[in-house]
Amino acid sequence: MAEETMKDYEKEINESLENFKKQESEEDFNWDKLKAEMASSTPIEVEIIEAVKGGCVAYAEGIRGFIPASRLSGHYVKDLDSFVGKKINVLVTEADQENDRLILSARELIREQEAEERNKRIETLTPGTIVDGKVESIMPYGAFVNLGDGISGLVHISEFVERRISSPHEIVKEGQDVRVKVKNIKDGKISLTMKGLIDDPKGGKAVKTKEESDEHEYSSGQEATTSLGSLLAGIKLDK
């Protein structure tokens, strides 16, 4: 059997070197692309392939990246495994080729989308609009009311009842369902009022809305008609 020499492996070695250079070149290109996407804040779609301690793993442009749990969503994420297999849009927040470190984040995109949806909802609210909500927190200067869809407004302490009060606790409590009127909207902040829409424990009743008043008048009209019919039915006319 002939003794093998380095020359016998020369072709194979050269092919391996060429493949390595090609892979290295492709990897450099992918890192450059990721850096450009980071600089331009370009969203990219990735698929979550694994949940690990502190976050999830996904590949972006062929490079293994890490998404911290705090950046998977706009809110706290408890079950990381529920994200495995999902495709989400992310931003590149760190692309360090030298240390092979790629950090991705979906949080900014999600919050941006939530803000757009919130602004669209706010656009449907105009001064004078009456809406239902729930008191979510009470401060010395007023109460914040959750109007749904991630929107909250402030009822200033002077906007609960006609009289002067020392604390919103005199009128409402946290978790209470209330009816409020939009007073003003400025820079995305919603000012609300409860005047005339909530009973004052020390006097003064809530004013009925137009719909409630119309309904009451309609019911009263029905009762009046029925009563009149019954009255006429009992009258005998002389022939």
The DSSP line for the chain is -PPP-GGGGHHHHHHHHHHHHHHHHHHHHHHHHHHHHHHHT--EEEEEEEEETTEEEEEETTEEEEEEGGGSSSS----GGGGTT-EEEEEEEEEETTTTEEEEESHHHHHHHHHHHHHHHHHT--TT-EEEEEEEEEETTEEEEEEETTEEEEEEGGGSSSS--S-GGGT--TT-EEEEEEEEEETTEEEEE-TTTS--TTS-PPPPPHHHHHHHHHHHHHHHHHHHHHHHHTPPPP-
Q: Which residue has the higher pLDDT, 150 or 160?
A: 160
Using the 8-state DSSP alphabet, how is residue 174 labeled? T
Identify the pLDDT of residue 96: 95
Q: What CA–CA distance (Å, rounded) separates 61 from 59?
A: 7
How many Cβ atoms sit within 10 Å of the Cβ of residue 174? 13
pLDDT-based confidence at residue 22 (cuts at 50, 70, 90): low
Identify the pLDDT of residue 211: 44
Q: Which residue has the higher pLDDT, 185 or 13?
A: 185
Mean pLDDT of 25-49: 93
Q: So what's the architecture of 121-210 in CATH?
A: Beta Barrel (2.40)
pLDDT-based confidence at residue 124 (cuts at 50, 70, 90): confident
Location of each CATH 2.40.50.140 domain in the chain: 22-112, 121-210
Identify the pLDDT of residue 193: 96
Is residue 82 helix, strand or coil?
Answer: helix
Q: First-to-last CA distance in the chain?
A: 142
pTM over 0.95: no
Q: Which residue has the higher pLDDT, 16 or 52?
A: 52
Residues 193, 180: contact at Cβ < 8 Å?
yes
How many Cβ atoms sit within 10 Å of the Cβ of residue 47? 13
Residue 19 confidence (pLDDT) above 70: no
Residue 68 confidence (pLDDT) above 70: yes
Identify the pLDDT of residue 2: 52
Residues 171-228 have pLDDT tens digits of 999 999 999 999 999 888 999 999 999 888 877 565 544 444 343 333 334 433 344 4
Is residue 86 helix, strand or coil?
Answer: coil
Lowest mean pLDDT segment, chosen from 14-23, 48-57, 213-222: 213-222
**Location of structure tokens 């003794």:** 3
| Residue 215 C-alpha from the chain's centroid | 36
- Please give the CATH number for the structural domain made up of 22-112: 2.40.50.140
- The two beta strands, 130-139 and 142-148, are antiparallel
Q: What CA–CA distance (Å, rounded) separates 160 from 34?
A: 54
- The two beta strands, 87-96 and 101-105, are antiparallel
Residue 142 corresponds to which tokens in the numbers above?
């007023």
Q: Which residue has the higher pLDDT, 112 or 14?
A: 112
